[in-house]
């Protein structure tokens, strides 16, 4: 696979100051942001690969969900003018992270099963366990 098949980074100075995140290049337009989702793949807070079409798929799936839930709660999306691009309202960041898994098992001391089997968590705790 050659490098032309992946979107590794962007360089659109005319869009304003750029901040490169793990996956998105974010351009600050004052009252709004231009988020360009690249094909960068990160694990453990570093880029480990570039996956063709990853950015497009991620952006379009996000757009679909934001559209389907906008009647439940408002969101930041103003437009998606390109499969890799979201134009968003600028808001104050609220630092929240959620990890969703479809299983209880794991090998680290942070897995729910490890905590439960060690007696440090009960079945009632499984849905409200925190870090």
127 or 8, which is more confident: 8
Other Cβ atoms closer than 10 A to 36 = 22
**d(Cα 40, Cα 27) in Å, to the nearest integer?**
17
Other Cβ atoms closer than 10 A to 13 = 9
Q: Kindly tell me if the per-residue pLDDT of 1 is higher than 50.
A: no
**d(Cα 69, Cα 75) in Å, to the nearest integer?**
9
Q: Kindly report, residue by residue over 55-74, the tens digit of the pLDDT.
A: 999 999 999 999 999 999 99
**Which domains are present in the chain?**
3-89 (3.30.200.20), 97-131 (no CATH)
Task: Note the pTM of the prediction, 2 decimals.
Answer: 0.70
**d(Cα 129, Cα 121) in Å, to the nearest integer?**
8
Residue carrying the six token digits 């134009």: 87
Task: Say if residues 80 and 59 touch (Cβ distance below 8 Å).
Answer: yes
What is the signed CA dihedral for 87, 89, 95, 100, rounded to 10 degrees? -50
Q: Kindly report, residue by residue over 65-120, the tens digit of the pLDDT.
A: 999 999 999 999 999 999 999 999 998 888 887 766 656 666 676 677 777 777 77
């Amino acid at each position: 696979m050659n490098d032309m098949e992946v979107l590794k980074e962007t360089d659109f100075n005319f869009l304003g100051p750029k901040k490169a995140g793990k996956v998105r290049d974010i351009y600050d337009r004052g009252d709004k942001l231009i988020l360009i989702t690249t094909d960068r793949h990160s694990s453990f807070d570093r880029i480990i690969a570039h996956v063709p079409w990853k950015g497009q798929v991620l952006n379009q799936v996000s757009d679909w969900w934001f559209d389907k839930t906008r009647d439940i709660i408002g969101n930041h999306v103003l437009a998606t003018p390109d499969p890799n691009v979201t134009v968003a309202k600028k808001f104050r960041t609220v630092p929240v992270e959620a990890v969703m898994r479809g299983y209880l098992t794991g090998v680290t001391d942070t897995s729910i099963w490890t905590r439960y089997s060690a007696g440090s968590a009960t079945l009632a705790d499984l849905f409200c366990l925190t870090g």
